[in-house]
Amino acid sequence: MQLIDFKEPEEIGRWRTINDEVMGGRSNSQMTMSSSGTALFHGIVSLADGGGFASVRRFDAACDLSDASGLKVRCRGDGHIYKLNLRLEKCFDGVVWQAPFDPIPSEWETITLPFSSFVPTYHGRHVTHPPKFDPARILSFGLVIGGRQDGPFHLELEWVKSLDPDDAA
């Protein structure tokens, strides 16, 4: 089931930027429409002033994925490692379930992220006693680049779909 179609022009406006500026850093990013009609998450990660991450988040994405086994992302990368974020709580800040992915530079591919690959984090650190992950309670999706990957980045996105249990991985 398609959850996010980045080719829909109104989709770009649903994503909000949240960068390390919130803690004094200098990274910047944005989600824009690419020349090919897909989404482009791009910007510059700066390690200056204690920074080191750039992210975007879609807040109004409540969905029940209890019948799914994970997510699939159609994207084209740049050699950086990204993380897909899921939030199960309405609060702005809290536990984030993250799954890293490393798309092949300059080639379109479909990345498969089983729910078992999502780990609980809080402010980038692993949570040792997290609440139970419940795919029926997903409220928001996000993308982040961090991990001391200093410099420009760009990730092109076409869609996000649910991974059905009987889908081939």
Q: Does residue 169 register a pLDDT over 70?
A: no
Question: Can you read off the two tokens belonging to residue 49?
Answer: 């002033």
* Residue 61 confidence (pLDDT): 87
* Residue 168 confidence (pLDDT): 55
Q: φ and ψ at 156, to 5 degrees? A: -95, 140
Tell me the CATH number at 98.
2.60.120.430
Kindly state the average pLDDT of the residues 3-13.
95
**Residue 136 — pLDDT band, cuts 50, 70, 90?**
very high
pLDDT digits (tens, 9 = 90+) for 71-127: 999 999 999 999 999 999 987 788 999 999 999 999 999 999 999 999 999 988 999
Q: φ and ψ at 135, to 5 degrees? A: -65, -10
* Residue 28 confidence (pLDDT): 96
Q: What proportion of the chain, given as a percentage, has pLDDT over 90?
A: 86
Phi-psi region of 151 (alpha: psi -120 to 50; beta: other; left: phi over 0): left
Contact 155, 78 (CB under 8 A): yes
| Number of structural domains in the chain | 1
The range of the structural domain enclosing residue 69 comes to: 2-163
pLDDT digits (tens, 9 = 90+) for 21-41: 988 999 999 999 999 999 999
Q: Is residue 157 part of a domain?
A: yes
Q: Is residue 169 part of a domain?
A: no
Kindly state the average pLDDT of the residues 36-57.
96
Q: Is residue 118 part of a domain?
A: yes
Q: Is residue 82 part of a domain?
A: yes
Contact 74, 158 (CB under 8 A): yes
